[in-house]
Structure 1
Amino acid sequence: MGNTVGRNSLKGLPMSDFLQKYKQTDTVLGKGGFGEVKLALDSQGNEYAVKIIEKSVLASNNEKISELYNEVSIIKNLDHQNIVKYHDFYEDKKTVRIVMGAGKADLFEHLCRTEKHTENDCKRIIRKVTEALNHCHENGVVHRDIKPENILVGSAKNFEDVALIDFGLAKAVDIDIEADDAEFEAKGRSRKTTVDTSLLRTKCGTLSYVAPEVIRRNSYTYKCDIWSLGIVAYIVVSGGYHPFASSNTKQTRENVERGLWKFGPDKVWEKVSEEAKDFIRCCLNRDPSKRYTYNQLLQHEWIANPMIFEDRVHRDSRDPISINVKLIQQQLRADLIKGHLTSSEENLSINQPILEIGRPIGTQVTFFDKNGRAALLED
């Protein structure tokens, strides 16, 4: 399962079938350097997200084409209520269309729109994301780009409707971890005992969410996703703060590589449960061998404990919504993600961000802007 799927091993359905089955609207759900995502409807009015890629844009980049087909191959084999649902894959000479379930707000947008939420709400979100990642792990998939923008939340009132999206940097690998072998044997399954570490050496992801071992160019395992999960948990529980992000890219990288973080500011964390803090610590252990496994996390008392935490997640009392949006804007800039903020008298929302994903080029990684131009090179 560890081989990347090439374009010759996966063929899309005819585009004429797409036109018969769906009506593509002009509503843009998201944009990227190599395409955009639009809303589509079927004959019954059900909504879908259609990822549209112009082949002409990818014509001179075989690596990007391989990544695209690899993403389709991975996501079509994942079936979990908290992973975006794959429906169809179409192509002709000019374009590729990937049809997936339509999501709601990403987690950053959710934070901007929600005036208050409890620690119990946070726990439910993180539990769902952990279950989704565990499903990926059980199927030999490492996501490698876990961050709030890649997690969708249905609504402010339904924290069960959580979906993991964007498998553009994901890899299908054989992972052999002794602690997890026992889990598979207990379920009557077997797992290969050879680790293909060559598939997990590529330095990629979003800088302020990648694990230290990824930055150091060491070989790494699925536990890079657990590190990123810990950062997401920190952000959600604190209402928008990030343990590593800095306006200075070099400082952010140093913070991550050295594992420099703390629970701050104090006024935010003083009413957060010790269980929540311990969960985050278990994820953000700089040593991957000591970092928790998914099985350990799912049994952790914070997300396994049925006790309801009623304390609200604190935000600055002066102007809670704007302060958090400001924090998120800072993080978006630090992650090299372009986002457009809009506001009105009654509400405040953040539009679907344009993701600038780190893509491997040789032994380096380049971050692209919305026009596909290299924006930053990490050496």
Structure 2
Amino acid sequence: MSICFVRLDLGAFSEVVLAEEKRTQRLVAIKCIPKKALQGKENNIENEIAVLHRIKHPNIVSLEDIFESTSHLYLVMQLVSGGELFDRIVEKGFYTERDASQLIQQILDAVKYLHDMGIVHRDLKPENLLYYSMDEDSKIMISDFGLSKIEGSGSVMSTACGTPGYVAPEVLAQKPYSKAVDCWSIGVISYILLCGYPPFYDENDAKLFEQILKAEYEFDSPYWDDISDSAKDFICHMMEKDPAKRYTCEQALQHPWICGDTALDKNIHESVSAQIKKNFAKSKWKQAFNATAVVRHMRSAVAMVTEPRSFPQTPLPIPVWSSLQTT
């Protein structure tokens, strides 16, 4: 297909562009990966694509197609244009526990779907949670399956991976781990959504990891004074040090803070947004797929669009990577 494109993100190994199919005017995000960058990493991209082709969920960014040229692989992804989680919270004028609870419910539902299929995300964090659109009631979407893993029969996960601050204690302890690592990460995200700062923090990674290994965190005053005991109980179950005792997604979805009426409606926006701006500077956030402004102006701001790019006509069959040739 022939497309016009605008760059959204330039990473270490790939470029993400916003593309419009001229015939249908449909917008998508295309991850352009040089084949040279794949040398020695073929298994990683194979795994990511294998995962993406298995999943179809309303709260997960989908892979729509795959193409290749002589020099690149192109992953055509569903476009999400509502911006990053923290951006939207800061922009809100009113934000409550109930809002946080509804966000976590969507994440739990999507991760339960993954776990039921034997898929572990392994890198859940706020940067990978994006709003589908700019609508006030837009759903949240999970993205970035680069570290995800399909559990095989009898296989054991033990590779240390993830993002410091969100990784579970058993991963840092270099013990075999399971899908419970995702539930820990959801607990960390829940904590941040209610106070605006992370439960574990230290400039020194060794000290940070020591906190996580001990599962040492507090509900500090005054930031947690107006947060319900139910919310704190939910977090304690999700951030349980022992993965065998930690809540599963199914158990978490049945907690009254998620499915009941214990989440408070008091406005906590001022406190939470102030802490988010203080502790999560924009320069630290990943920008991939944050296409809001570009989507808004793409059709009217002709100057933003470069020359049309010819795109391969035929989608690649799956699987294809066993015969992948790098240059």
What TM-score results when the alignment is normalised by the length of structure 1? 0.70
2:151 paired with 1:195: no
1:84-233, aligned counterparts within 5 Å?
A: 84-103=61-80, 104-154=82-132, 158-174=136-152, 195-197=154-156, 200-233=157-190
1:55 positional shift: 1.1
Higher relative contact order (CA 8 A, sep 6+): 2
1:294 positional shift: 1.3
**Which residue does the alignment assign to 1:286?**
241
Cα distance in 2 for residues equivalent to 1:315 and 1:284: 26
Question: Match of 2:218, as an amino acid?
Answer: K
**Which residue does the alignment assign to 1:375?**
none
**Which residue does the alignment assign to 2:304?**
none
CA contact (8 A) 1:315 1:324 kept: no
CA contact (8 A) 1:137 1:222 kept: yes
Cα distance in 2 for residues equivalent to 1:227 and 1:291: 8
**Which residue does the alignment assign to 1:372?**
none
CA contact (8 A) 1:121 1:159 kept: no
Q: Which runs of 5+ in 2 are unaligned?
A: 289-327
1:118 positional shift: 1.4
Question: Match of 1:277, as an amino acid?
Answer: K
Question: Match of 1:95, as an amino acid?
Answer: H
Cα 1:329–1:261 shift into 2, 3 Å: same
CA contact (8 A) 1:125 1:159 kept: no
Q: SS state of the match for residue 26, structure 1?
A: strand
Q: How big is each residue's C-alpha offset from its partner over 1:280-326, in whole Å with a ceiling of 9 and x where there is no partner?
A: 1110000000001111111111111156631122544xxx7565312
Choose from 9, 16, 19 the match for 1:40. 19
**Which residue does the alignment assign to 1:261?**
217
**Which residue does the alignment assign to 1:65?**
42
Cα distance in 2 for residues equivalent to 1:153 and 1:76: 21
**Which residue does the alignment assign to 1:179?**
none
Question: Match of 2:191, as an amino acid?
Answer: Y
Question: Match of 2:228, as an amino acid?
Answer: S
CA contact (8 A) 1:210 1:228 kept: yes
Q: SS state of the match for residue 276, structure 1?
A: helix
CA contact (8 A) 1:83 1:163 kept: yes
Structure 1 residue ranges (4+ consecutive) displaced by more than 4 angstroms after TM superposition: 320-323, 337-340
CA contact (8 A) 1:268 1:313 kept: no
Cα 1:69–1:148 shift into 2, 3 Å: same
Cα distance in 1 for residues equivalent to 2:106 and 2:183: 13
- State the Cα RMSD in Å: 2.2
1:217 positional shift: 0.6
**Which residue does the alignment assign to 1:326?**
278
Cα 1:339–1:135 shift into 2, 3 Å: closer
Q: SS state of the match for residue 223, structure 2?
A: helix
Cα distance in 2 for residues equivalent to 1:275 and 1:251: 30
Cα distance in 2 for residues equivalent to 1:57 and 1:137: 30
Cα distance in 1 for residues equivalent to 2:25 and 2:63: 18
The alignment-based identity, stated in percent, is 32
CA contact (8 A) 2:109 2:253 kept: yes
1:31 positional shift: 3.1
2:198 paired with 1:242: yes
2:56 paired with 1:79: yes
**Which residue does the alignment assign to 2:33?**
53
Cα distance in 1 for residues equivalent to 2:109 and 2:275: 31
2:31 paired with 1:31: no
CA contact (8 A) 1:50 1:97 kept: yes
CA contact (8 A) 2:93 2:269 kept: no
CA contact (8 A) 1:24 1:38 kept: no
Q: Which runs of 5+ in 1 are unaligned?
A: 1-19, 175-193, 341-379
Cα distance in 1 for residues equivalent to 2:231 and 2:274: 25
CA contact (8 A) 2:131 2:140 kept: yes
